[in-house]
Amino acid sequence: MSDKVEKWGDSIDVAVELALKEMKLTRDEVDVEVLEQPSKGFLGLHKKLAKVRVTKKPEPVHVPEENKDLFTEKVRTAKRAEKTERKTTEEKTVINAFGNSTYVVPAPNNNAVSEEENEERISSSSTGTDERIQQRRHEKRERESARRSDSKNQNRSWDRNSEEMHTKFTVTADDKDTVPADDSYAVDFIRKIIKQMDIKAEVHGAMIDDVLYINLSGSEVGALIGKRGQTLDSVQYLASIVENKNSDKHVRVLVNAEHYREKREKTLQQLAHKVADKAVRSGRSQRLEPMNPYERKVIHSALQSDPRVSTRSEGIEPSRRVVIELKK
């Protein structure tokens, strides 16, 4: 039987109970770590499950009453030995490469000198080596400068391409073949939602080919956007169902509010570049927060020309996320 189990559930308590049932343990015998909080979503959509990690607590060591003093002393002795060993490990002995002198470098602290300063200090006692040290330091600076310059030039080459909008969200005066659609089923449906929510906003629709663009404007439309656009996505999903239920052909419905979609896409592109830089600096893969399919597509598109990293998606909806990792 495993001492650690991860479970999903409609709530944290449900997930914990499922884990306890599998482990055949009680709540007092385990430690619970909440990995993901549950979310009810909007109108039952985009619902997120709770995820927990349940770990069995270590069993207490039973010590007979007559041996307690001996046991306590052994524990203290072990702790002292561990402390001494750690201190010994932190003190490293460095043999001078230019002589027989021995230098003891203490454990790192806030006042510790840099590696280059330490190298110069060690070598200063040996004659004829200063020029070689200075030459190596100069070559190191040149390599670092060249590497930063190459990286900066590479970033410029693909940043410009990634700044383009991935999708058109709003009808403008420059768009031709636009058909007014203020009386469409989707627009009427959204107006009813706004009225029920007692929100003051204007709703306008326009059709281009088989795409219905619906724009919301007003000082109170923030309530229809929600956290990271989740409410706006739900409204768009419902409006699409209503429109296509009453249409002979499939119509794609895009709902925007005060140009939120364009701003969100720009934010995602900037996030993609920032996390990619972090992956390069740390040398480790980076996992983004769960996103819907469109937002994941924006991340993939923003980094598809980045020569340093690659992207992939992992997980199951609605917790599917993008992973940014170094190219091999």
Task: Give residue 107's pLDDT.
Answer: 44
Task: Give residue 103's pLDDT.
Answer: 38
Is 92 in a helix, a strand, or coil?
A: strand
d(CA 266, CA 298): 9
Task: Give residue 243's pLDDT.
Answer: 94
Q: CATH number of the domain at 179-258, out of 1.10.760.10, 3.30.300.20, 3.40.309.10, 3.90.1150.10?
A: 3.30.300.20
Task: Mark the ranges of the chain whose per-residue pLDDT is less than 70.
Answer: 1, 41-46, 60-75, 79, 82-131, 142-166
Q: CATH number of the domain at 262-326, out of 3.30.1370.50, 3.40.1710.10, 3.50.50.60, 2.10.25.10?
A: 3.30.1370.50
Task: Give residue 149's pLDDT.
Answer: 53
Task: Give residue 75's pLDDT.
Answer: 67
Q: In the block, which residue shows the tokens 């091999």?
A: 328
Task: Give residue 85's pLDDT.
Answer: 63
Eight-state DSSP code of residue 117:
H
Task: Give residue 24's pLDDT.
Answer: 85
The ranges assigned to domains in the chain are 4-56, 179-258, 262-326
- pLDDT tens for residues 20-35? 888 888 888 888 888 8
Cis preceding-peptide flag for 60 (omega within 30 of 0): no
Task: Give residue 268's pLDDT.
Answer: 93
- pLDDT tens for residues 198-239? 999 999 999 998 999 999 999 888 888 988 888 999 999 999
Radius of gyration of the chain (CA): 31
Global pTM value:
0.50
Q: In the block, which residue shows the tokens 């940043």?
A: 159
Task: Give residue 69's pLDDT.
Answer: 62
What b/e readout covers 39-68, taking b as 16+ CB neighbours within 10 angstroms? eebbeeebebbbbbbbbeeeeeeeeeeeee
